[in-house]
């Protein structure tokens, strides 16, 4: 699956497609007409303010939440009729997953091995060698070989984040969904982690969809940025991402100062405003 030939073939088809997706939670519409198409091997960053529906979108893709209207297709198959094959191709990583309680006494290797546990593995005598290879490879990719037999409770936050990613990789999933994986990790770890995601999409044939409110990080690494606020308000390459003024227009936010800032006087230069999103 990782051969370049396969990859070129796969990139011609969307791995994930949502069509006019509408999702309500507790009677309130959260997502409206979301049309998203992601090709194999892409690294897509999803940004948007708090409560804009980013996690809701991932949970709907994963089939945890049901849409009121519209469809989600993975490899061209609707998730309304999920098949095990389709869900085995998806992996989900959340910030919460990296915050595993310290009392859980499980080593990095054991955690990663859990990624290879599937119903089919449990029911049938499995290819143990293949499972071992998947685990070894996943640990190697995230650079945790030296601590693979260390309890996860003794790892740094960044290492734990890598261990959770390794578990996702060991599932052999092709589509990796990450919900705010950068929260609470230091700058150096963040840069390494982004490099790892970039490598996964470029060299390991993985398709990555990452939610983050770290717009600068997404801009530097993702191939494509989606701005989601109830619906998709921007979908394009990072250099085309709207500036703050354009973003305010997209979001329907009106200038309350009429071009005259109460502190700095004449209309302020948007570049001097710290990016708040």
Ligand X SMILES: Nc1ncnc2c1ncn2[C@@H]1O[C@H](COP(=O)(O)OP(=O)(O)O)[C@@H](O)[C@H]1O
Tell me the CB-side half-sphere exposure of residue 122, using CA atoms within 13 A. Answer: 5
- Residues 116 and 124: their CA atoms lie apart, in Å, by 14
Which range touches ligand X (CB under 6 A), out of 52-60, 128-136, 242-250, 260-268?
A: 52-60
- Residues 160 and 147: their CA atoms lie apart, in Å, by 11
User: Are the beta carbons of 193 and 182 closer than 8 angstroms?
Assistant: yes
* Residue 200 binding partner per list Mg ion, ligand X, none, with a CB distance cut-off of 5 to 8 Å that depends on partner kind: none
CB of 213 to Mg ion, least distance (A): 9
- By the 10 Å C-beta count (0-12 exposed, 13-18 middle, 19+ buried), 248 is classed as middle
- Residues 10 and 114: their CA atoms lie apart, in Å, by 28
Q: Determine which residue in the list 2, 6, 9, 51 makes contact with ligand X, applying CB under 6 A.
A: 51
Binding status of residue 50 toward ligand X by CB under 6 A: yes
* Residue 30 binding partner per list Mg ion, ligand X, none, with a CB distance cut-off of 5 to 8 Å that depends on partner kind: ligand X
Which range touches Mg ion (CB under 5 A), out of 16-24, 46-54, 83-91, 200-208?
A: 46-54
Q: Determine which residue in the list 26, 129, 271, 276 makes contact with ligand X, applying CB under 6 A.
A: 26
Binding status of residue 30 toward ligand X by CB under 6 A: yes
Of residues 25 and 80, the one with the C-beta less far from ligand X: 25
| 164-200: b (≥16 Cβ within 10 Å) or e | bbbbbbbbbbbbbbbbbbbbebeeebbeebbebbbeb
Of residues 50 and 129, the one with the C-beta less far from Mg ion: 50
Give the binding-site size for Mg ion (rule: CB under 5 A).
2
| 50-81: b (≥16 Cβ within 10 Å) or e | eebbbbbbbbbbbeebebeebebbbbeeebee
Q: Determine which residue in the list 52, 60, 113, 201 makes contact with ligand X, applying CB under 6 A.
A: 52
Which range touches ligand X (CB under 6 A), out of 48-56, 90-98, 137-145, 184-192?
A: 48-56
In whole angstroms, what separates CA 66 from the centre of its chain?
Answer: 19
Give the binding-site size for ligand X (rule: CB under 6 A).
11
Of residues 56 and 67, the one with the C-beta less far from ligand X: 56
CB of 212 to ligand X, least distance (A): 11
User: Are the beta carbons of 30 and 53 closer than 8 angstroms?
Assistant: yes
Binding status of residue 94 toward Mg ion by CB under 5 A: no
User: Are the beta carbons of 43 and 223 closer than 8 angstroms?
Assistant: yes
Binding status of residue 55 toward Mg ion by CB under 5 A: yes
Q: Determine which residue in the list 14, 53, 115, 181 makes contact with ligand X, applying CB under 6 A.
A: 53
């Amino acid at each position: 699956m990782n051969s370049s030939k396969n990859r070129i073939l796969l990139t011609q088809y969307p791995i994930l497609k949502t069509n006019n997706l509408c999702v309500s939670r507790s009677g309130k519409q959260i997502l409206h007409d979301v049309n998203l198409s992601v090709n194999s091997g892409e690294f897509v960053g999803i940004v948007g303010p708090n409560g804009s529906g980013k996690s809701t979108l991932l949970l709907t893709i994963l089939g945890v939440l049901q849409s009121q209207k519209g469809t989600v297709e993975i490899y061209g198959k609707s998730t309304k009729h999920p098949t095990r094959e389709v869900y085995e191709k998806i992996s989900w990583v959340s910030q919460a997953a990296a915050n595993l309680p310290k009392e859980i006494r499980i080593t990095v290797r054991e955690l990663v091995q859990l990624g290879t546990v599937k119903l089919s593995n449990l029911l049938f005598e499995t290819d143990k060698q293949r499972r071992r290879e998947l685990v070894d490879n996943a640990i190697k990719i995230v650079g945790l070989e030296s601590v693979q037999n260390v309890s996860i409770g003794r790892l740094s936050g960044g290492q734990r984040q890598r261990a959770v990613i390794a578990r996702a990789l060991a599932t052999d999933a092709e589509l990796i969904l990450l919900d705010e994986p950068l929260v609470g990790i230091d700058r150096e770890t963040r840069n390494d982690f982004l490099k790892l995601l970039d490598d996964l999409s470029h060299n390991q044939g993985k398709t990555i969809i990452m939610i983050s409110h770290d717009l600068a990080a997404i801009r530097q690494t993702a191939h494509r940025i989606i701005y989601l606020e109830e619906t998709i308000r921007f979908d394009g390459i990072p250099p085309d991402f709207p500036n703050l003024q354009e973003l305010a227009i997209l979001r329907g936010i009106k200038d309350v100062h009429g071009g005259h800032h109460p502190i700095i006087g004449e209309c302020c230069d948007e570049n001097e405003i710290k990016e708040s999103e």
